[in-house]
Structure 1
Amino acid sequence: MKKLLLIATGGTIASIEGEEGLVPGLSADELLQYFQAGDQNIDVTCQILMNRDSTNMQPEHWVSMAETVAQHYPDYDGFIITHGTDTLGYTSAALSYMLQDLGKPVVLTGSQVPISFKKTDAKKNLQDAVRFACEEDMGGVFVVFDGRVIIGTRAVKMRTKSFDAFESINHPYVAKISGDEISYSWKPTTPAGEFKVNTKLCPDVFLLKLYPGTKPEIFDYIKAHYKGVIIESFGNGGVPIEERSLLPKVKNLTESGLAVLISTQCLEEGHDLFLYEVGRKVAQYDVIVSGDMNTEAIVAKLMWALGQTSDPQAVKAIIETPIAWDLSVDWGKED
C-alpha cells in the first residue's frame, strides 16, 4: 500500500468565503472529504501545516515545508503539498534546493477555484498529484497542475484565472496525466546520493526590474540593506551605459562584495551578456549570470546560496552550476 502525506499550506484550494473575500480555512478532515483516491492501495494522511494565502508566504515557511518533508521522509512513499498558486513557483524552486537527492516525489499543486465550489479544478489537480506521487523510481520536486507535470525549478504561473495557469519555462514538461495514464516526455534521473535537507537561507535579496529611467541611486539603498541583488535587465542582458548609466553602481556593488546577478526580463531562451556592447560593459565586472533560469528559481537559489556562504565567488559558483535541472547544462556554449 502506498502511503502519502498531504501537507496543506492554504491557498485558493482550501479557501472559503470570508467577510472580506476568499480566505484559506478548510480543516484536514474537510480537505480529505473531497479526496477520492479510487484505489484502495493508497493511504493518504493530511497535515495542516499552515493556512495562508500564498501572497503571505515567506522564506521561513519554505523552511517549515522542507523540515516537515524531512521529518516524515522515512514514513511515506510520496508527499503532496497543497499551496496557493501566486507564489507556488517560488516555493517549488526553494524546496528543490533545500531537499537534495530526493528519492521520492514531492508534488506541489493547488487550484484556481476553491475545492468546495461546484466548478473547480481542485479535485482534478489533487487527484493528478496523488497519481504522480505514487510513481515508482521518481525523485524530486514537481508541480502538477491541469494535467501537466513540471520540474520544480521550471514552473511559472502565466495566467491568473485559466485552469492552465502554469507552464514549464525553458525545459520540457515531465509528463501529462489523463486519468490513470501518465505519458512521459522527459524523465529525471534517479539521484545517486542519499536524501539530505539543507534549509539555510538568507532572504536579504533584492529583485530589481529595469525600466527606461531607472535611477542609479537605487543601488545605494540596495548596498546598505541587502547582500544580493538580481537585476532583471533588457533582452540579452543589457543595462543602460549612457544617460543614467548603471555601470558605476554595479562596479561599486561587486567591489564591495555584494552578489550581483544579471538576468533578463524575457521569459524564454535566457540571455547572452557578450552579444551586445551594453552587455559586455557590465560583464567586465564580476557579476553572476543566470543563464536560462526563471525568476522564481533565481530568487530562491540566490537566497539559498547566500545561506551557504558569504564569499561572492562561492555564491557565483553555486548559481552558475545546474541544480535540480534549473539551468540547461549546455547553456551558453558555442554551437
Structure 2
Amino acid sequence: MSKKILLLSTGGTIASAPTEHGLAPAADGRELLSRIAPSVQQYQLESEDVLNLDSSNIQPEEWQVIARRVYQRHLGYDGIVITHGTDTMAYTASALSFMLPQIPIPVVFTGSQLPLADPLSDAWENLRDAFAMAASGQPGIFLCFNRKVSLGCRAVKVRTTGFDAFESVNCPYAAKVDSRGLRINPSVVRPAAGLCQLKDQLDCRVILIKLTPGFNPDIFDMLLGMDYRGIVIEAFGIGGLHFIHRDLVSKLQKVTEAGISVVVCSQCLYEASDFSVYETGKRILEKGVIQGRDMTSVAAVTKLIWALGQTQDPAQVRAFFETDLAGEITLD
C-alpha cells in the first residue's frame, strides 16, 4: 500500500517567481504537487498551504503556526514534507524538534536554491528525496537537501548559492541518497518513546552575541534594561572569553544573578566547546553560565527560546540544556 504524505507549503524560493522587486513566493502547494507529481506517483499526496512567506520573515510566531498544523494533521499521514525558504529553514526545523517531542512520523523540511519553475532548479531532486524520507517510517524532524538528510536540530546553512547549502554539524547525516537509494543511519535516527506532545510556548526574548576582540561588556547592562531573558554567546575557540581590559566575566556574573540564562557555545562550526580547559572558560563556569558543548548556534538559540517558553526558572532551563532532547547535543 502506498504511503500517504502531506505537503505543507510555507513559501520560500522553491515557490517563488520573478517580480519587479525580485523573487517572491507565488506558487501554492497544489501547484508544487502538480509539477512534481509525475515523478512521485508511488505516494498518495495531499497539500495544504500554511504560509506564503520569504523565510526571512518566518519568526517564532510562524514556528508556532507550523508546529500546530503538523500536530493537528500528523495522525492522518505516514509522513509530512514542509517546503520552506532556505535562509531560516534550519531555525524552523530545529525549533520544531523541541516543540514536537516524540513525533511518530517523519517530518521533513526541504526547499531549493532556485525556484521550481527554473529549468535548472534543484527543487525536483530535493522534493523527491524529501518524499522518500517522509515515506521511510523514521520518526523525527529532518532537513533534506542535496541528497542528504540531517536531524532538524543539527542542520546549518553554510552556503548562500551552492546546491550543497546545508550540512549536518557535529553529527553524522541521518540518511543519504545514492545509487543504492535512501540509506538510513540507525545510529542517528532515534525511535519515538512516548506520545507526541505539542509544546509550542516560546519566549523570543533571546539574543545571540558573537564575541570579538575589544567587545564592550557594558552591552549586557543594556540587555538587562531591555528585558531579555536569554543570551547565547559565541565565544572564542574551545571556550575563551576576555577578562583583561574589558571584564566580560564579571558582567556575566551580574547577568546570571539577575536570573537571565546564558548559554555559551564556540564560534567554531565544528567540534565541541569545553570550558574546563582554560582559565578563561573555568571563570565563566563559576559564574553560572551554561555550556553549549557541540550544539550549533542555531540549535542553542532555538532551544533557549523554547526552554524559556516552558519555564522562567534558570535552574530548569539549565536542566533542559543538560539533557539531549532531540539529538541536538552530545553529552559526556
State the TM bucket, normalised to the shorter chain: over 0.9
Residue by residue over 1:153-194, the C-alpha shift from the partner in whole angstroms, topping out at 9 and shown as x without a partner, is 100011111111111100011111137811233441211201
Assess if the C-alpha contact under 8 Å between 1:222 and 1:229 holds in 2: no
Whole-angstrom CA distance in 2 between matches of 1:183 and 1:260: 38
User: Are 1:178 and 2:175 matched, yes or no?
Assistant: no
Answer with 216-225 or 203-212: which moved more: 216-225
Whole-angstrom CA distance in 1 between matches of 2:74 and 2:134: 13
Residue by residue over 1:58-95, the C-alpha shift from the partner in whole angstroms, topping out at 9 and shown as x without a partner, is 10101111100111112111100000111111111000
Correspondent of 1:289 among 285, 288, 291? 291
What residue identity is the alignment partner of 1:310?
Answer: Q
Deviation of the 1:245 alpha carbon: 1.4
User: Are 1:239 and 2:241 matched, yes or no?
Assistant: yes
Answer with 121-130 or 32-41: which moved more: 32-41
Residue equivalent to 1:57: 58
Unpaired segments ≥5 residues, structure 2: none
Whole-angstrom CA distance in 1 between matches of 2:81 and 2:203: 26
Assess if the C-alpha contact under 8 Å between 2:231 and 2:263 holds in 1: yes
User: Are 1:221 and 2:212 matched, yes or no?
Assistant: no
Assess if the C-alpha contact under 8 Å between 2:145 and 2:166 holds in 1: yes
User: Are 1:108 and 2:109 matched, yes or no?
Assistant: yes
Residue equivalent to 2:87: 86
Assess if the C-alpha contact under 8 Å between 1:36 and 1:127 holds in 2: no
Whole-angstrom CA distance in 2 between matches of 1:50 and 1:38: 25
User: Are 1:21 and 2:22 matched, yes or no?
Assistant: yes
Assess if the C-alpha contact under 8 Å between 2:79 and 2:135 holds in 1: yes
Whole-angstrom CA distance in 2 between matches of 1:220 and 1:154: 32
User: Are 1:326 and 2:325 matched, yes or no?
Assistant: no
Aligned length: 329
Residue by residue over 1:4-44, the C-alpha shift from the partner in whole angstroms, topping out at 9 and shown as x without a partner, is 11011111101100111101111233212211354544111
Assess if the C-alpha contact under 8 Å between 1:236 and 1:272 holds in 2: yes
Residue equivalent to 2:124: 123
Residue 196 of structure 1 aligns to a residue whose secondary structure is coil
Deviation of the 1:209 alpha carbon: 0.6
Deviation of the 1:108 alpha carbon: 0.2
Residue 276 of structure 2 aligns to a residue whose secondary structure is coil
Residue equivalent to 1:265: 267
Deviation of the 1:103 alpha carbon: 1.1
Unpaired segments ≥5 residues, structure 1: 331-335
What residue identity is the alignment partner of 2:325?
Answer: I
Residue 85 of structure 2 aligns to a residue whose secondary structure is coil
Assess if the C-alpha contact under 8 Å between 1:8 and 1:82 holds in 2: yes
Assess if the C-alpha contact under 8 Å between 1:53 and 1:84 holds in 2: yes
Residue equivalent to 2:152: 152
Whole-angstrom CA distance in 1 between matches of 2:291 and 2:109: 28
Residue by residue over 1:109-150, the C-alpha shift from the partner in whole angstroms, topping out at 9 and shown as x without a partner, is 0000000001010011011101110013x1000011000011
Assess if the C-alpha contact under 8 Å between 1:37 and 1:127 holds in 2: no
What residue identity is the alignment partner of 2:190?
Answer: T
Residue equivalent to 1:161: 161
Assess if the C-alpha contact under 8 Å between 2:240 and 2:280 holds in 1: yes
Deviation of the 1:231 alpha carbon: 1.1
Residue 275 of structure 1 aligns to a residue whose secondary structure is coil
TM-score by length of 2: 0.96
Assess if the C-alpha contact under 8 Å between 1:150 and 1:167 holds in 2: yes
Assess if the C-alpha contact under 8 Å between 1:207 and 1:229 holds in 2: yes
Assess if the C-alpha contact under 8 Å between 2:81 and 2:134 holds in 1: yes
Residue 23 of structure 2 aligns to a residue whose secondary structure is strand
Whole-angstrom CA distance in 1 between matches of 2:4 and 2:288: 48
Identity level (%)? 43
Whole-angstrom CA distance in 1 between matches of 2:103 and 2:172: 20
What residue identity is the alignment partner of 1:289?
Answer: Q
What residue identity is the alignment partner of 1:145?
Answer: F
Residue 160 of structure 1 aligns to a residue whose secondary structure is coil
Residue 195 of structure 2 aligns to a residue whose secondary structure is coil
Residue 21 of structure 1 aligns to a residue whose secondary structure is coil
